[in-house]
Structure 1
Amino acid sequence: MSDIYQNLQRIKESLPDHTTLVAVSKTKPASDILEAYDSGQRIFGENKIQEMAEKWQMLPKDIEWHMIGHVQTNKVKYMAPFVHLIHAVDSLKLLKEINKQAKKNDRIINCLLQIKIAEEESKFGLSKEDTIEILADNELSALDHVKIVGLMGMASFTNDEKQINQEFENISLFFKELQPKYPQLKELSIGMSGDYKIAIDHNSTMVRIGSSIFGARNYS
């Protein structure tokens, strides 16, 4: 049994039934993705649109591709024909562009609003106030080729579990607060290789795990 197969099985066994595993395959070759695919994994996450589009062309068409990285509006057109879920939507302007490109491809694209929960300056995301404003905006109801299906957040890059707990608690409570008014919000995408077990304690419905499946990344 390969390492990828064993890693996948171990992680899947640790996840509750309601939590979806997104295998983060960024920087990894198509051969690694195929190995995970042959082990039963069908949902993969990438953080660069062009890299994801290249892999989409060469890999099996029943793979569900998730865009998990920051999205530039001028690149949306490259993923609009196939992307299943965009995790990191952080403006109405971006939603309008996704809607425009989805319409051209006769599709409805699912999106998550990225909430800034980390204290780090480097993280993108919306404030709670901005999120409420977008959800209530009349312009949003006119965008019939996008569907906001939940929230996404990234905790601070720290070993301080108390801080990570607090950040996940904040987004989980906000998610619960929004749901009565916006029942279409079903997904809470929080948790990565280092903190997904904490995220599960805070009702994560989707974890984004890469290095714990595929091994350390080579960025050179």
Structure 2
Amino acid sequence: MGIGEVYSEMKKEIPKDVTLVCVSKTREINEIKEAYAAGARDFGENKVQELMDKYDNVGPGVRWHFIGHLQRNKVKYLVGKVHLIHSLDSIRLLKEIEKQYAAQDEIASLLIQVNIGNEDSKTGVAVDEVNALIKACEECQYIRIKGLMATIPIGDSQHCSKYFAEMKSIFDNLKKNKYKNVSMEFLSLGMSGDFEIALAEGANMIRLGARIFGKRDYK
């Protein structure tokens, strides 16, 4: 099956209210265009320069998602170009996003990245720091928090379920509260190897790379 057919089949499999972000990092423009031709509009990149290179080359109506660790000195390049930044992971980054978006009178849509497994190898805020970050977001003018994102520790299905369920619980608890600039719309969980479990635990946004485009060739 080609990329377009795989995408179409995947769209039939997942619930209608789930946003499928096709992770297009390292992929060629022609591969991305195959998914686009089949109806894909949400694409995820984890490097700012790569996103910039692809920005104008796929087609109209593309919603670019920035899903990687965002360095503060790169924020200015994303203003007005990304639909959603999935990786807000500190108050320092928040302040830089506010500053750069204010300079161009644009609004930034963001997900708070939670380091749910407390892993040293991953970015994201610790669970007990989420509220402090939300308070800082309430003081901003050019920031809109749209939900949460996490990349969970590797493990078996039971292990995955546990972390996804914890994220859903945090999401639901935040959803009960009223905050300025903050709404819990998207729970971005699950990748090619574990998205079914993520969906079962309540995710409404999944990020699929290899499942759509096939395995990467690292040669």
TM-score normalised by length of structure 1: 0.93
Name the structure 2 match of 1:141.
138
Q: Judge conservation of contact 2:72–2:93 (CA < 8 Å) in 1.
A: yes
1:17 aligns with 2:13: no
Mapped partners of 1:5, 1:87: distance in 2: 25
Aligned to 1:114: 113
**CA displacement at 1:55 relative to structure 2:** 0.3
Whether 1:50 and 2:49 are equivalent positions in the alignment is yes
Structure 1 residue runs of 5 or longer lacking an equivalent are none
Structure 2: gaps (5+ residues): none
For 2:75 and 2:153, how far apart are their aligned partners in 1?
27
Q: How many residues are aligned here?
A: 216
Structure 1 residues 119 and 163: alpha-carbon distance in aligned structure 2, compared to 1, 3 A threshold: farther
Give TM-score scaled by structure 2 length. Answer: 0.94
AA paired with 1:150? G
Code of the residue aligned with 2:171 in structure 1: it is F
Aligned structure 1 segments of 4 or more residues deviating by more than 6 angstroms? none
| Residues 36 and 58 in structure 2, CA contact (< 8 A), matched pair in contact too | no
Task: Give the one of 135, 138, 154 matched to 1:157.
Answer: 154
Q: What aligned pairs does 1:1-220 form with structure 2 within 5 A after superposition?
A: 3-118=2-117, 120-137=119-136, 140-158=137-155, 160-182=156-178, 184-220=183-219
Give the structure, 1 or 2, with the largest relative contact order (CA under 8 Å, sep 6 or more). Answer: 1
How far residue 3 of structure 1 moved from its aligned partner, in angstroms, is: 1.2
For 2:146 and 2:116, the matched residues in 1 are separated by: 19
User: Secondary structure in 2 aligned to 1:78?
Assistant: helix
**Is contact 2:118–2:126 with CA below 8 Å preserved after alignment?**
no
Change (3 A) 1:7 1:204: same
Tell me the SS of whatever aligns to 2:144: strand
Aligned-partner Cα distance in 2 for 1:120–1:95: 21
SS, match of residue 64 in structure 2: strand
1:57 to partner: Cα distance: 2.8
Cα distance in 2, alignment partners of residues 79 and 219 from structure 1: 27
The one-letter code of the counterpart of 1:121 is D
Quote the RMSD (CA, aligned, Å): 1.4
Distance 2:89 2:37 in 1: 34
Asked whether the equivalents of residues 21 and 42 of structure 2 are also in contact (C-alpha less than 8 Å), the reply is: yes
Deviations 1:193-216 (A, max 9, x none): 000000001111100001010011
- Residue 143 of structure 1 deviates from its aligned partner by 1.6
Q: Is the partner of 2:56 in helix, strand or coil?
A: helix
